[in-house]
Amino acid sequence: MATDDLRRLEAQALEQLQQCSDEAALRAWNTHYFGDNGLMKAAFGKLKEIPKEQKAAFGAEANRVKAALTEAYEKALAAAKERALQISLTTNPLDVTLPGRMPRRGRLHPATQILRQIYAIFADLGFQIYRTREVETDAMNFEYLNMPAHHPARDMWDTFFTTTPNVVLRTHTSPGQIHVMRAAAGRPIRVILPGMCYRNEAISTRSEIQFYQVEGLVVGEGVTMADLKGTITAFARRMFGPDRQVRIRSSYFPFTEPSIEVDIDWPHDDPNRDRLTKGTGWLEILGAGMVHPNVLRAGGYDPQKVTGFAFGMGPQRMLMLQHAIDDIRLFWQNDLRFLQQF
Ligand code: PHE
């Protein structure tokens, strides 16, 4: 083999390159000449058979041919790709004015949203958040809350009993009061206790078997009903608007004495005001009261030394009021058409 052969190889390669009509053909061409068993490789392999004095000239020519072919190949490849693109653009036109597809955005469940709103308000008032269990003993759910066995007030809550004796799903967050008091071991307390509660109710637009409650508990020296009223008023104004008035009615809970129910005056500009408040203008938002001495005792506190107040509210009920939602069952049905509105 001599330098002439190299030139012949070059000419033949370039001619074949011209005939390659697409990328696949070009790649085959490349393998044919530059692959492991390719003709260029073979040509370089001949170098050792070349007489010594011609080696340099042959080597230089081989390198030149290699460079020339590589350049020609790359140009042809780029041109083929461009051609392919033009063809796909004209035969399969792309409408760049078409609006993009909106990615779906995740969001928090409305119940989570209102819980976070409530946490933020109470955090500003100096409350800590404390969580306790959803499965409770009968003692925690009732007895320590001043309802011994067979106390008729137990009927205020339709209870889910488990197959384990004396173990129930909590019917309210109030057992958390006992847990917190025992954990705080005599120190002053200012907490909210959010969480899921369960009641064995017939499901309807107004009652569900599971729902959130947010309990509040403050215990310390000299805590009074005025503190309770102040706290609830501050909360109601942050939650429902700065002009809200709070109305207190006497009520009954076994674990508070005295017990109250708290209403707020519903905003006059809400077109649903009459329907929501049944014409009274007032709407109940929570139950509350001064912690019963027996409950303080069950938590390890001395009712001679400290007093406390507690309240329990239903955040989902508040959400229903704020958004005129008329069916509580919507919360846990996971219907996106409902959830996406929040
Ligand atoms: N636990 C009561 C209920 O579920 C609400 C409540 C809590 C009332 C704390 C007074 C004090 O109905």
pLDDT tens column, 196-226: 999 999 998 888 999 999 999 999 999 999 9
Interval 49-76 mean pLDDT: 90
Helix intervals (H) in 129-224: 138-141, 175-184
* Dist CA 101 CA 245 (whole Å): 47
Per cent of the chain over pLDDT 70 is: 100
pLDDT tens digits, one per residue of 132-157? 999 999 999 999 999 999 999 898 89
232 lines ligand 1 (CB under 6 A): no
pLDDT tens digits, one per residue of 219-259? 999 999 999 999 999 999 999 989 889 999 999 999 999 99
142 lines ligand 1 (CB under 6 A): no
Residue 310 has pLDDT above 90, yes or no: yes
* Helices 52-91 & 3-19 angle (0-180, nearest 10): 0
Per cent of the chain over pLDDT 90 is: 67
* Dist CA 3 CA 7 (whole Å): 6
Interval 71-84 mean pLDDT: 92
Say which residue, 44 or 167, is predicted with more confidence: 167
* Dist CA 46 CA 51 (whole Å): 11
- Give 158 Cα–ligand 1 centroid separation in angstroms: 14
253 lines ligand 1 (CB under 6 A): yes
Task: Give the type of residue at 183.
Answer: A
Residue with tokens 């390198």: 63
Residue 268 has pLDDT above 90, yes or no: no
Question: How much is the pLDDT for 144?
Answer: 98
Local confidence band at 1 (pLDDT 50, 70, 90 cut-offs) = low
Is there a contact between 319 and 118 (Cβ–Cβ < 8 Å)?
A: no
pLDDT tens digits, one per residue of 96-129? 888 989 898 889 999 999 999 999 999 999 999 9
Question: How much is the pLDDT for 330?
Answer: 94
> What atom in ligand 1 is closest to the CA of residue 173?
1
194 lines ligand 1 (CB under 6 A): no
Say which residue, 261 or 320, is predicted with more confidence: 261
Residue having the nearest C-alpha atom to atom 7 of ligand 1:
312
* Dist CA 156 CA 151 (whole Å): 10
Question: How much is the pLDDT for 297?
Answer: 98
- Give 313 Cα–ligand 1 centroid separation in angstroms: 7
